Amino acid sequence: MALDLSAIGRPIGPIVREYGWKDVILYALSVGAGFDEPLYTWEKDLKVIPTFSVATIFDFFWAVAKHSNLNPRGALHGEQEVVFHSAIPVSGTLTTNGTITNMFDKGKKGAIIRGESTTVHSSGTRLYTSVMSIFSRLDGGFGGQEGMSRAVEFPGREPDGAIDARPSPDQPLLYRLTGDFFALHVDPAFARAAGFEKPIMHGLCTFGFACRALLQCLIPGEPERTKRIACRFTSPLYPGEPIRTLIWKTADGNALWRVIHAATGRSVIDGGEFEYGTR
């Protein structure tokens, strides 16, 4: 198996998905929301957690993987960025179009496959642009460009906010119902073959926990003010392990963040950026 470099620039889509308030609430529950956040878990005055956006485009992720011809046993989410053009309505039909924009060769470490997509609501409103990368651990060494990663420099001071959470030992079983059915998060045999003790958390599930923490700390009750969120996934997390989202305010409407393992201090998500304000 080898990466298909001819897939770079090939159109992917349109990918169409209908959704409603139950999908919005299921997503919120799957990233740790509960009775203390009725804004996200009750259809009365319901609002959408911004990272619901990534749950609506799982089919684009799968298409990137299929078109690139990567080895699925080595695939992990590498980086994720979402730029929001408008607030996400609680229901409608979404149409997503995108492409694989590049493939980078990290040699023995693996390869990076990057894809970009834009999603439009059935009202005609452009909602968000996603830039994602898959870190494919078994597909390096094809002679391509190495590429560069985003560089984020954190302040040399204590964070302005620290939000603790503990995903359930069964969290992936709930999160996968939002559409991410990758076997790594449910099948013990597949997880062991991929080099893990057992199924691991979806990186995008932890991403959702972090988004909730950012909303709570910076714009409580106003998720529609989110303009951009980006990060790099740095190490796996097993279900049931405690996490802490650390947040630094760096300017008006800007913050940096990371997620660490609350017991060991190990970085789980790093290089986090968050932009918010009035559009």
Q: Which residue is catalytic, options 67, 180, 202, 247?
A: 180
Specify whether 180 is catalytic: yes
Please identify which of the residues 25, 112, 200, 247 carries the catalytic annotation: 200
With a CB cutoff of 8 Å and minimum separation 6, the contacts of 164 are 242, 243, 244, 262
Token reading at 26: 């299921």
Buried b (16+ CB within 10 A) or exposed e, 199-211: bbbbbbbbbbbbb
Q: What does the DSSP assignment read for 202-271? A: -HHHHHHHHHHHHHHHHSTT-GGGEEEEEEEE-S---TT--EEEEEEEEETTEEEEEEEETTT--EEEEE
Nearest to 249 by CA among 163, 164, 161: 161
Q: Which of 78, 110, 203, 271 is catalytic?
A: 203
Q: Can you say whether the dihedral through the CA atoms of 66, 71, 77, 79 is positive or negative?
A: negative
Active site (annotated) includes residue 49: no
Here the tokens at position 34 are 């509960």
Give the separation between CA 38 and CA 20, rounded to whole angstroms: 17
- Indicate if 185 belongs to the active site: yes
Q: Rounded CA gap, 110 and 76, in Å?
A: 11
Active-site residue flag, 221: no
Query: What three-state secondary structure class fits 197?
Result: coil
* Residue 96 to residue 128: CA distance in whole angstroms: 10
d(CA 102, CA 105): 10
CA 220-255-219 angle, 5° bins:
10
Q: Which of 12, 15, 144, 185 is catalytic?
A: 185
Rounded distance between C-alpha atoms, residue 132 and residue 63, angstroms: 12
List the catalytic residues.
Answer: 180, 185, 200, 203
